[in-house]
Amino acid sequence: MMERLICHLQSINGDLVTDILSRVDGSALASVASTCSELRGIARDQGLWKKLCHSRWPSTALEEAEHLISGSIHGCFDKFYSDACQLVLYDEVASANSLKLPECAELNPRTSPPDLLSLIDVYSKNRCVFSRILDGIPEAVDIFKHGLVDSSWEMIADERQKWFLDYPFKLELMGLKDDDDDELLDSPISSISEAGKSRENHCKKLIEDLRLSWILVDKNTGKAVNLSSWKPLSVQKSWPYHATYVMQFGCVLPVEESLLPQKLARFIITARFKMTEREECLKWSEISMRIENIEGAHVNGRSSLMILSKALYSQRSANQFKLEEGLRTYDKQKTEMMRRRESREALADRLLTFIEITVFVIFYVALRLLV
């Protein structure tokens, strides 16, 4: 089918070819670009890729993102699309052989908080209902910028930098707020007051309808990576007293043992919202990202910067089945690790109890002998 399309494209006018290619998806456009020299130039037209990016991720049409992508000396919209359209893949065997990558083999982070840009898009039933840009890591950008510029800031900046580097990392697009401050988004979700709907049915519907994309971009290199799982990994609801839903997205990234002893980092993107019955809309109170190790402990700022830098060069895949299989593998490893830890703790408790009983018996026997 693709070969027949290419033969037809080669025989028609260039402007018409451009118009035809403006209607295909990214994978088809990339296939055309790799066929022959006549079509390569047309298929690599940045205008076509720009349109694709804007259609798939409306946040790329926002001024700061569009300026960064189009003005990057390291690439343009076609490169950005290639980086962001695939998601981070955790494959236990392949990851073991690819932990050290050329550009980020060093553990010292080359990216600082001001160098990062996040593009966040939320979709409901394939329609984008929310697009935002998060520049840097807000709580750390001013610290790192001013600490290098103003000598009078130096000592304060050093202390604040140390606090950020040692404190549990969390990147917030939208933090928890009061109900009156929640942002109302027009989202086509059916009313939650329908008769017979259970909590499980509500959550299942949300898993089917809602999608989230969180693209991290390095301003210096132009590299990008989508840290979301696209589909929700879990949905929980406070029931029946609160109509608050909490959804989680994310991915798993293998890292060096010197960075995390467990050699696995998990990006957790949390979206917290309420659903209004009358307007049938979503009111968002939190969209944030954090990084945890396999034991569930939050990773600090220093390690998180290194992990974010490494994620830009991670293994990717567009195969949703492989992505889900990788996450299931991670969950199995985590469950097995927790089981082993609980077994060790139980053994240690029994040993301690045995020692205490033994000591008590020895003292008791000794006292009886003395008497």
Q: pLDDT tens-digit profile of 283-341?
A: 888 899 999 998 889 999 889 999 999 999 999 998 888 888 888 888 888 888 888 88
pLDDT above 50 for 170: yes
State mean pLDDT over 260-264.
88
List beta partners, residue 5.
none
pLDDT above 70 for 8: no
- Which of 5-9, 71-75, 89-93 is the least confident region? 5-9
List beta partners, residue 120.
132, 214
Contacts by residues 194-203 (CB-CB < 8 Å, ≥ 24 positions apart): 199/237, 199/239, 202/237, 202/245, 203/235, 203/236, 203/237, 203/245
Q: Quickly tell me which residue has 């790329």 as its tokens.
A: 60
Helices 154-166 and 301-311 cross at an angle (nearest 10°) of 70
- Which of 67-81, 89-103, 111-125 is the least confident region? 89-103
The pLDDT assigned to 218 comes to 92
pTM, 2 dp: 0.80
The pLDDT assigned to 282 comes to 77
3-class state of residue 289 by DSSP: strand
Report the alpha-carbon angle 91-108-119, nearest 5.
60
Give the number of other CB atoms < 10 A from CB of residue 113. Answer: 23
- Which of 5-19, 219-233, 303-317 is the least confident region? 5-19
Q: Quickly tell me which residue has 């994978």 as its tokens.
A: 27
Q: Are strands 234-237 and 116-124 parallel, antiparallel or unpaired?
A: unpaired
Q: Rounded distance, CA 171 to CA 139, Å?
A: 9
Are 141 and 164 contacting, i.e. CB atoms less than 8 angstroms apart? no
Q: Rounded distance, CA 321 to CA 319, Å?
A: 5
pLDDT bucket at 370, cuts 50 / 70 / 90: confident
Tens of pLDDT, residue by residue over 60-84, are 999 889 888 887 655 689 899 999 9
The pLDDT assigned to 165 comes to 80
The pLDDT assigned to 334 comes to 83
pLDDT exceeding 70 applies to what percent of the chain? 71
The pLDDT assigned to 81 comes to 93
pLDDT above 90 for 207: no
The type of residue at 144 is F
List beta partners, residue 121.
131, 213
pLDDT bucket at 343, cuts 50 / 70 / 90: confident
